[in-house]
Amino acid sequence: MKMETTYIRNLFETNNLFEKRHTLSRNEYLKSKGTIDTNIYLIEEGSLKVCIYKDSEEQIIRFGYKDNFIVALDSFLTEQVSEFSIQAIKKTSVRIIPKKNITTFLSQDTQHLKIWIALLEDLIVQQIEREKDLLTSSPKERYERVLQRSPQLFQQIPNKHIANYLRMTPETLSRLKKYCV
């Protein structure tokens, strides 16, 4: 049961789950590694990247842009420190839903719980697709999979970030974009 963002946003609006707005400058962190973050964010404009650092090298694992929900899911669920960072790629505005608002919302109606489960299922499927991408050895296959799954990514996110996400050099991505059209 895939949920449309507009439907979910309207439902969250109707139930007053959003508490505030926050605007980030380019490169500003919404969440830094080594912190706890139990908020859910709706991106109103701009774009974000979720990354982890391995041997001081950034590894992008997820993107979010207009009308996407984004969350440090491990920290949200466990209320523990997360090694993930969420950083603005360009000036970005988000609306914030604290976990306590979601918890109250879920306890009010079993239909709300069904919607929450559908959202989590969608996140899990996205994560599985991401893992498949990483296990695909060919840069061309990774590029084609992401292009098919998220063509809007290539309009919203700079190539250098997409290349990092796809585990290839920007030059390789540029060649693939040129020859795989």
Which single residue is written with the structure tokens 């491990």? Answer: 74
Q: Is the pTM of this model over 0.85?
A: yes
* Three-state secondary structure of 65-78: ECCCEECCHHHHHH
Crossing angle of the two packed helices 99-108 and 110-135, in degrees rounded to 10:
130
Cα 176 to chain centroid, rounded: 24
CA pair distance 148, 113, nearest whole angstrom: 31
Alpha-carbon distances, residue 171 vs 3, 51, 78, 131, 157 (angstroms): 36, 21, 39, 23, 16
Q: Report yes or no: 52 and 12 within 8 Å, Cβ to Cβ.
A: no
pLDDT digits (tens), the chain, 181 positions: 456 778 888 999 999 999 999 999 999 999 999 999 999 999 999 999 999 998 889 999 999 999 999 999 999 999 999 999 999 999 999 999 999 999 999 999 999 999 889 888 888 888 898 888 888 778 888 899 898 888 889 999 999 999 999 999 999 999 998 887 6
SS3 136: coil
Structural domains for the chain? 5-109 (2.60.120.10)
